[in-house]
Chain A
Amino acid sequence: MTMAVESKMEWKESHRHPPGFRARRGINWFTVGLMYAMYYMCRYNFRFAAPGMREEFGFTITQISDIWVWFSVAYGTGQLVNGLFCDRIGGKASMLIGAIGTITVNLVYGFGSFAGNFATFAGLWLLNGYIQAAGTPGMVKINAAWFNREERGVFAGIFGFMIQSGQVMISRLAPVLLAGFTIGAFVVDPGSWRILFIVPPVFVAIVAVLLYFFAAQSPDEAGYPGTIHDDVDNSAGTTVPVKEAFKFVFSNPLVWFYAVAYGCTGAVRHSSDQLSILYFEDVLGFNMKTNIPGIAVNTLALIPLVAVAGSVLSGWVSDRFFRGHRYPVAMVLYFMESIVIATAATVLALGMVGPTTGGILLGCLFLVLIAITANSTHSIVGAAAPMDIGGKKMAGFASGVIDSFQYYGSALSLFITGRVLDATKDTYGWNFWFIIMTGFAATGGFAMLALLLRQKGKQAAMKLVVFALAAAILFGLTFGTYKYRQIVKENAAKPAAEAPAAAAPAK
């Protein structure tokens, strides 16, 4: 027997579970995952309602985007607060409270928005963001209790699948609802966007009932005591006092390294997700309003598929080859991501991406590659690492802290990118979109490198990396702000300079 086969057999032997355990865990995981997917249905329904809301209330794109920004800020903050309480009340209770909350807010949004104004919508969606933030800590906490450290990577990959499935479900359901339908005396006219906030909560309610009856917070509660070994705290039970969770997680340096890296994941993931439609229009010359080309539809359909494949593969690699350590795999992924995005920036600067056959294929290929790398880090850093750090008792808050940074990173990235693109689009096209994403991806890689050095006991090297990273970020921000202001001034001066020149021939 070769070494590889021997180690594989050894791994398999050490992960033998009692009869029925794997099936029971499958049922638990399916119910919890489905609940999380339903959360996504009550979140991504908004983007399908946006055109209808814009038509009815005359909202601008900035106002629609601002509703999203409020949602993100509330979601990030909610992760911090709800994660802490989740460790006190348990993952199942946290997910059920979140489900009831999101059902209520969505129904209010759907039924009570006839006399709505911007403040009402923003306020309700902010509330939804805060309540939805009970989902991730709850889900991560339940699964931390059900999986050994070396099994969590793959299941974190499946977490990515659940997210994508929620998006896919609402993407399929929304067009059907918006097309209008009749059930007996109940008639919904085509284009009634309010129905998007009334039907998805029904699905959430059904799955919440399933969760209540089928999910168990830990194997102990399901009749499998001592099956899973928790590296952090192996004693019975899954809840701890708020103070203990706060102290343990906040004083754990690993959390902060992962939080910085995850902020970078959020920056790239949300930037590429939210701005890709505009990129299709501006760079590849697609009509994304009325006649969306097949290649755009196929690229957007391919992205979730490759994202799931990347998530599962990276989780499996970290489980099998790195004994459940996430940072080496995450570091490689972040650096790969930065190389991919830097290549995309170079190719775009060389004029190879544009409305030609080759240019369109290249442009779409880079989006798919970015999705693979971004979603792979999303799963192992956002789901597997908090389980490893917090164990079954404090995974909720660990996940809350780390995941909140994803949304803060996303808000920062979109805030910077929007302004920089508006200022530079005429001169440099969409180059700075990729350049900004490269910066975030590289930062994530260096954060993981610093963690790797720390875990290997190389404190001096770790401090050097952290110092160099901080200096680079500071320099980038200072120089970037200076250049941005210069460009804005030049742009403002342009119309003034062009006006006399345009007026001269007329004379």
Chain B
Amino acid sequence: MTNEHSPVPVSSRQLKLKKFCIWIETKFEGRIARVAFALHMAISAAVFYTIQLVQAAWLADARWPLWAASGILVAGTAFWVILQVVRRFHDMGRTGSLFWAVSIPYWAAGKLIGMFPDLWFVWVALCAYPIWLTLQLFVRSGTDGISRFERRTAPAV
């Protein structure tokens, strides 16, 4: 058993993937102010709504490539929303992992209410904290200077 670490050859495909990952991680490590965040959310909501309308009005009998295209648009918008939520948390000086605390309880509550419609109080209990966090995303002001969750590659101030 040794403790040496000799270099291993890295393929060009893996290097491209590495570059892509650095790019995507850098995107998530930024920050966004509350007003810009609200604007992004409003635009995203409008896009989602429009896609739904288009799907209901024109795509009902359409061929699958059109459905696939609308699905890709939905996925892209969802990614954009996630990116903005994470950046907003960074702006507030909090970890972007809180995105899960916002999204999972809503999803679980939706599932539970579908299975057990009488258990509305469980829904309220599950969603109380995510609602509080969501409100903060829109109204709480950002921190001063570079937060520890912001771009880690940036030089310290």
Contacts and interface: CB of A to CB of B under 8 A. Distances in A.
Given A237-B8, A302-B115, A305-B111, A20 B25 contact: yes
A21 B153 CA distance: 13
Interface of B: 1-8, 10-11, 13-15, 17-19, 21-26, 108, 111, 115-116, 152-153
B25 A23 contact: yes
Contacts of A349: none
A378 B81 CA distance: 35
Contacts of A305: 108, 111
B18 A24 contact: yes
A224 B4 contact: no
Given A19-B26, A236-B5, A298-B115, A24 B17 contact: yes
Contact of A19 (B3, B10, B17, B152): B152
A84 B108 CA distance: 40
A171 B132 CA distance: 36
Contacts of B18: 20, 24, 222-224
B2 A235 contact: yes
A471 interface: no
Contact of B21 (A21, A233, A298): A21
B4 A19 contact: no
Interface string A108-120: 0000000000000
Given A19-B152, A233-B2, 4 more contacts: A23-B25, A221-B14, A235-B1, A302-B115
Contacts of A218: 8
A226 B5 CA distance: 7
Nearest to B7: A225
Contact of A298 (B14, B17, B116): B116
Contacts of A301: 115
Contact of B22 (A20, A226, A234, A237): A20
A203 to B, nearest CB: 17
Contacts of A22: 25
Given A27-B17, A302-B115, A221 B5 contact: no
A464 interface: no
Contacts of A235: 1-6
Contacts of B108: 305
A331 to B, nearest CB: 28
B26 to A, nearest CB: 7
Contacts of A20: 18-19, 21-25
Contact of B10 (A223, A233, A302): A223
Contact of A23 (B2, B13, B24, B111): B24
Interface string A1-45: 000000000000000100111111001000000000000000000
A19 B28 CA distance: 11
Given A216-B14, A221-B8, A234 B2 contact: yes
Interface of A: 16, 19-24, 27, 213-214, 216, 218, 220-226, 232-237, 298, 301-302, 305
Nearest to B6: A236
Given A23-B21, A24-B18, A24-B21, A232 B8 contact: no
Contacts of A24: 17-18, 21
A132 B1 CA distance: 31
A18 to B, nearest CB: 9
21 contacts: A19-B22, A19-B26, A21-B21, A23-B24, A213-B13, A220-B8, A222-B10, A222-B18, A223-B15, A224-B18, A225-B5, A225-B7, A233-B1, A233-B2, A235-B2, A235-B4, A235-B5, A235-B6, A237-B8, A298-B115, A305-B111
Contacts of B17: 24, 27, 214, 222
Contact of B5 (A21, A214, A223, A234): A234
Nearest to A222: B14
Nearest to B116: A298
For the complex of A and B, list the 9 residue pairs with the smallest distance between their C-beta atoms, beginning with the closest.
A20-B22, A20-B21, A23-B21, A220-B8, A24-B21, A235-B2, A223-B18, A298-B115, A223-B10
Contacts of A214: 17
A19 B1 contact: no
Nearest to B2: A235
Contacts of B111: 305
Nearest to A248: B1
A305 B2 CA distance: 42
Contacts of A213: 13
B45 to A, nearest CB: 27
Contacts of B3: 234-235
Nearest to A294: B115
| Most central of B7, B13, B17, B26 by chain A CB within 10 Å | B17
B69 to A, nearest CB: 20
